[in-house]
Amino acid sequence: MRLFREQGFAATTIEQITVAAGVAKGTFYNYFRNKEELAIAGVDMEQGQWFNRIDEILAPHEGVEAKLNACFASAFRWMQQHPDLGMLWSVERLRAGRKDPGRWSSLHEAAYRVWKEGQAAGELRTDRPAEAASLDLMGIHLVYTVAWYHTGRTLDVPQMIAAAIHTYLWGALTPHGRQEAHNE
């Protein structure tokens, strides 16, 4: 992970990795098919460390919306520091998602936890399962981080995600729109 951070993912070779780790190339291939698998395993490990701090991240915030915004902003700070690794990991999560649906990312687990706690506290309705709502929120996160990555990394992603979370939680219909939808 140090090499990936210092040199970038693309510039880091398997030979450099094996030299830094003090193992033979064959030993590397006993554990990983390629450097992508190593990077994903490393990001998974770092995410686990992030999730171990989730109580600390959430503590200063009250209410579901503030806690969700804190989770996603914190996760995005990591993405800003490691954009190539973050994109590699995000794409891999999408690709592997159907094969391994029980393996959530730490951010997904945090969003699920906040949602469940919000439901238990009576802040959120219970007709939308936490599993589905947290997946919706991950979609919001993914869309904005991918847009950030591919548009020159200038977007204010935490603000954009916060606005999308607000709309998701509060709904997009105005009182007039709610009335119209009710009349149909």
pLDDT digits (tens, 9 = 90+) for 31-46: 999 999 899 888 888 8
Asked if pLDDT for residue 181 goes beyond 80, the answer is no
Distance of CA 146 to the CA centre of its chain: 11
pLDDT of residue 116: 96
Q: Which domains does the chain have, with CATH numbers?
A: 1-31 (1.10.10.60), 36-176 (1.10.357.10)
pLDDT score at 172: 73
pTM, two decimal places: 0.84
CA pair distance 153, 135, nearest whole angstrom? 24
Q: What is the mean pLDDT of residues 135-151?
A: 92
What pLDDT does residue 130 have?
94
Helix runs in the chain, H state only: 2-7, 14-21, 25-31, 35-51, 54-58, 64-81, 83-97, 106-120, 130-150, 157-170, 175-183
- Specify the higher pLDDT residue, 167 or 175: 167
pLDDT at 98: 47
Query: Which range (64-68, 70-74, 126-130, 169-173) has the least confidence?
Result: 169-173
